[in-house]
Structure 1
Amino acid sequence: MTVNENSKPLLTVKGLKQYFKVSNNYTVHAVENVSFQIYPGETYGLVGESGSGKSTIGRSIIRLYDPTAGEINFNGMDISGRINKANSQALRTQMQMIFQDPMASLNPRKKVRDIIGEGLDIHHMYKTRAEREEKIKNILAKVGLAPEHAGRYPHQFSGGQRQRVGIARALIMNPKLIIADECISALDVSIQAQVVNLMKDIQQETGTAYLFIAHDLSMVKYISDRIGVLHLGHLLETGTTEEIFENPIHPYTKSLLSAIPAPNPVVEKNRVALSYDYKTSGIDYNKGTDHLVSGTHYVKCTDEEFKKWTE
């Protein structure tokens, strides 16, 4: 979809920091001064290597973690500090998360009916048991599962089916934003395509926005409208999918894109993967500021680096 930049952002993250104190002498700086926006109905892809802070950002936004610093504004609500009861209620219904491991995130002692319906129960979103059953049946059909699956336990499903249950659990609340935390990384390639196509179809139908966290760049390219590149907790480059893939500026972004295998054996044979090592690169992420490349394409660097990279 085409993002309308004149529309009001659904989610605005500004200067987000997330630190974890390990001991009196050591604190992990997992996320460092990250800022981005997500507009209604769009998919924002957050990419980077393992340990770059992608999942931490998602968990901080949905308030599974208390942010160390920064501002998070969701649908007109400030959810960065202490949240009042009304905002907490709105946050729990309007923002949902699909977790990375479909088995670990589903209660093995509960039937699918009760796993999916738990949000409805907590927020009293039905009047009769028949209405509850109807909502569960409809959402199962939407994610490609049969009504009789409602009476089964998670261990009776395949990985792809379990992830569909996770998607159904998020969708039944009719949220405005879904945080998909590497929700396809544990699945077979063919199942990944099914799940991503399902998510795209649901987005067209419901207008839900996605924060799509992944390290599979080809899948991110397929599903995302805009992309943010994360490394060592810093958001290095952000722009539309076309801007990032056609004109990468930051050396780390270039190294990530050069690592994507090409389906054409002739092209793959001649592909050269660029190496990037932060320690020897001479780049200091803490000194960088956002520089506009074109359109919505920004890169975080110093003035000297920007001049060198764009010459």
Structure 2
Amino acid sequence: MAVDYNSKPLLKVEGLKQYFPISRTFTVKAVEGVSFEIYPGETYGLVGESGSGKSTIGRSVIRLYDPTDGKIIFDGTDISKKLSRGDTKKLRTQMQMIFQDPMSSLNPRKKVEDIIGEGLDIHKNYKNQAERSEKIKAILKKVGLAPEHASRYPHQFSGGQRQRVGIARALIMNPKLIIADECISALDVSIQAQVVNLMKDIQEETGSAYLFIAHDLSMVKYISDRIGVLHLGHLLETGTTDEIFQNPIHPYTKSLLSAIPEPNPMVEKNRVAESYDYKTSGINYNLGVEHHVSGSHYVKCTDEEFEKWTK
């Protein structure tokens, strides 16, 4: 579906910081001053290597973590501070998360109908048990599962089916924003394609926005409208999918894209992956400021670095 970038952002993250104190003298700075926006019906891909802070951002946005600093505005409401009861209800119904490991995120002692219907039970979103059952069967059908699967337990499903249950659990509340935290990384490649196509179809039907967190660049390119590149807790570069893949500015982005294997063996044989080491690069992320390149393309760097890369 077409995204209206002139409309008001559904989610606005400004200067998000997430620190974890380990001891009196040591603190892990997992996320350092990250800012981005997600518009209604848009898929915003967040990419980066393991440990770059992708999942931490997702968990901070949905308030599984209390942000250390910064502002998170969701659908016009500031959710970065202490939440009122009304704000909590709005957040829990209109924002949902699909977790990375479908087995560990599903209660093994509960049947699928109770796992999916838990949100309905908590927020009393049905008049009677018949309506509850009807909603659960409808959402199971939407994600490609049969109504009889409702009476089964998570261990009776394959990995792809379990992830579909996780998607159904997120969709049952009809949310405006779904945070997909590496939801395909534990699946086979063929199943990954099925799940991503399912998510695209559901987005067309419901108009939900996605924060799609992943390290598989080809899958992010396929599903995302815009992409943000994350490294060591800093958002280095953001822009449309075409801008990032066809005109990368930051050296780290270039190194990421150069690591993508080519399906053509003749081209792959001559492919050279660019190396990037932050310690020897001479770049200081903490001194960086945003530079507007073109369209919606932004790069975080100093003035000198920007001139050097864009010459």
Tell me, yes or no, whether TM beats 0.5. yes
Q: Is 1:206 aligned with 2:213?
A: no
**Structure 2 partner of 1:70:** 70
- The residue correspondences of 1:21-170 to structure 2 (distance < 5 A) are 21-170=21-170
Task: Write the distance in 1 (CA, Å) between the matches of 2:5 and 2:50.
Answer: 31
- The residue correspondences of 1:246-257 to structure 2 (distance < 5 A) are 246-257=246-257
Task: Write the distance in 1 (CA, Å) between the matches of 2:169 and 2:244.
Answer: 32
Structure 1 contact 43–224 (Cα < 8 Å) conserved: yes
Specify the SS of the correspondent of 2:117: helix
C-alpha distance after superposition, 1:161-209 (max 9, x if no partner):
0000000000000000000000000000000000000000000000000
Task: Write the distance in 2 (CA, Å) between the matches of 1:124 and 1:267.
Answer: 57
Q: Percent identity?
A: 83
Which residues of structure 1 form unaligned runs of 5+?
none
Structure 1 contact 14–35 (Cα < 8 Å) conserved: yes
Specify the SS of the correspondent of 2:32: strand
Q: Is 1:299 aligned with 2:299?
A: yes
Could you tell me the TM-score, scaled by structure 1's length? 1.00
Shift of residue 55 of structure 1? 0.1
Shift of residue 4 of structure 1? 2.0
Could you tell me the TM-score, scaled by structure 2's length? 1.00
For residue 121 of structure 2, what is the amino acid of its counterpart? D
**Structure 1 partner of 2:218:** 218
Shift of residue 5 of structure 1? 1.8
Shift of residue 265 of structure 1? 0.9
Specify the SS of the correspondent of 1:294: coil
Specify the SS of the correspondent of 1:295: coil
Structure 1 contact 51–232 (Cα < 8 Å) conserved: yes
C-alpha distance after superposition, 1:28-83 (max 9, x if no partner):
00000000000000000000000000000000000000000000000011000001
Shift of residue 151 of structure 1? 0.3
Task: Write the distance in 1 (CA, Å) between the matches of 2:152 and 2:294.
Answer: 51
For residue 119 of structure 2, what is the amino acid of its counterpart? G
Task: Write the distance in 1 (CA, Å) between the matches of 2:202 and 2:285.
Answer: 37
Task: Write the distance in 2 (CA, Å) between the matches of 1:157 and 1:205.
Answer: 26
**Structure 2 partner of 1:240:** 240
C-alpha distance after superposition, 1:226-284 (max 9, x if no partner):
00000000000000000000000000000000000111111111111000000000000
For residue 219 of structure 2, what is the amino acid of its counterpart? M
Shift of residue 2 of structure 1? 3.9
Shift of residue 3 of structure 1? 2.9
Task: Write the distance in 1 (CA, Å) between the matches of 2:233 and 2:136.
Answer: 38
For residue 31 of structure 2, what is the amino acid of its counterpart? V
Structure 1 contact 100–183 (Cα < 8 Å) conserved: yes
C-alpha distance after superposition, 1:99-155 (max 9, x if no partner):
000000000000000000000000000000000000000000000000000000000
For residue 69 of structure 1, what is the amino acid of its counterpart? D
Q: Is 1:12 aligned with 2:44?
A: no
Q: Is 1:264 aligned with 2:277?
A: no
For residue 21 of structure 1, what is the amino acid of its counterpart? P
Task: Write the distance in 1 (CA, Å) between the matches of 2:38 and 2:3.
Answer: 9
Task: Write the distance in 1 (CA, Å) between the matches of 2:284 and 2:32.
Answer: 13
The aligned length equals 311
Task: Write the distance in 2 (CA, Å) between the matches of 1:24 and 1:306.
Answer: 37
Task: Write the distance in 2 (CA, Å) between the matches of 1:64 and 1:301.
Answer: 30
Structure 1 contact 2–225 (Cα < 8 Å) conserved: no
For residue 285 of structure 1, what is the amino acid of its counterpart? Y
Which residues of structure 2 form unaligned runs of 5+?
none
Task: Write the distance in 2 (CA, Å) between the matches of 1:62 and 1:109.
Answer: 25
For residue 139 of structure 1, what is the amino acid of its counterpart? I
Task: Write the distance in 2 (CA, Å) between the matches of 1:270 and 1:222.
Answer: 25
